[in-house]
Amino acid sequence: MKSKTWILRQKNDQFVKKAKQIGYISRAAFKLEEIEKKFNLIKHSRNIFEFGSSPGGWTQVILNSNKNIKITSIDLLDLKIKHKNIQFFKENFLTFNFDILNEDYDLVLSDIAPNTTGHQSTDHLRISQLIYEIIDKLEILLKPKGSFICKIWKGEEEKEIIKKLKILFENIDYFKPQSSRKESSEIFIVARNFK
Ligand SMILES: C[S@@+](CC[C@H](N)C(=O)[O-])C[C@H]1O[C@@H](n2cnc3c(N)ncnc32)[C@H](O)[C@@H]1O
């Protein structure tokens, strides 16, 4: 169940209101919009893989940015939009058989988030474990020169994550969107030019 604080915050949040007005399924959509405005990675992709896509705000942004895009996405929960260009798997990515995909991708996105405990360092460790698992999958998912965008919650594992990504990619950037809550420790890593 959502806490009272969460419900109050959602009610007063300008991005929640804006998302309702323009028909975005989640306020998370604005974060990807901002990332795209700066890095232009969706526009130049033909094939995208999305980890943690539900309810589907990011997927809406992808479809709006590029009409010809093909999206493959995975989440434990239902994706609330349907589109002919989306192939969605309602599964745990940790047990998913990636070999069945038989494709490679220009861009891999992760907005994956574990259930939170409210204990910052525990939550940080949990999301970091998921990111390590995703990084292990990049070899089979990404095309050479492809890109990877992921959300992390800042903390001590961050250095190790960046270290791993520096081995795999030529360019690494951090990005904190305006629409990301200031008090949130979340930050996005944009890794480009997969080696
Ligand atoms: C912040 S939400 C994603 C929001 C989405 N980007 C959007 O714009 O609507 C994080 C998602 O990660 C998913 N998730 C967490 N662990 C997962 C796992 N092991 N396998 C698949 N999905 C997972 C959750 O179910 C949740 O929907």
Q: List pLDDT tens digits, range 130-144.
A: 999 999 999 999 999
Q: Which residues of 145-164 are buried (b: 16+ CB within 10 A; e: fewer)?
A: ebbbbbbbbebebbeebeeb
- Prediction pTM value: 0.94
Q: What per-residue confidence (pLDDT) applies to 132?
A: 98
Q: Which atom of ligand 1 is nearest to the CA of 59?
A: 8
Residue 143 annotated to the active site: no
118 C-alpha to center of ligand 1: Å? Answer: 17
CA–CA distance, 50 with 60 (Å, rounded to integer)? 12
57 CB-side CA count, 13 A: 21
Q: List pLDDT tens digits, range 29-67.
A: 999 999 999 999 999 999 999 999 999 999 999 999 998
How does residue 1 score in pLDDT terms, banded at 50, 70 and 90?
A: low
Helix (H) or strand (E) holding 187: strand 186-194
Q: How many beta carbons lie within 10 A of that of residue 175, not counting itself?
A: 15
Domain ranges across the chain: 32-194
For 78, 96, 151, 167, 192, the CA distances from 90, given in Å and listed in that order, are 6, 10, 20, 31, 28
pLDDT at 125 over 70: yes
Identify which of 170, 164, 102 has the alpha carbon closest to the alpha carbon of residue 136. 164
Cβ of residue 129 lying under 6 Å from some atom of ligand 1: no
- With vertex at residue 19, the alpha carbon angle to CA 13 and CA 20, rounded to the nearest 5 degrees, is 95
Cβ of residue 93 lying under 6 Å from some atom of ligand 1: yes
Cβ of residue 52 lying under 6 Å from some atom of ligand 1: yes
51 C-alpha to center of ligand 1: Å? Answer: 7
Q: Which atom of ligand 1 is nearest to the CA of 130?
A: 19
At the topology level, CATH places domain 32-194 in Rossmann fold (3.40.50)
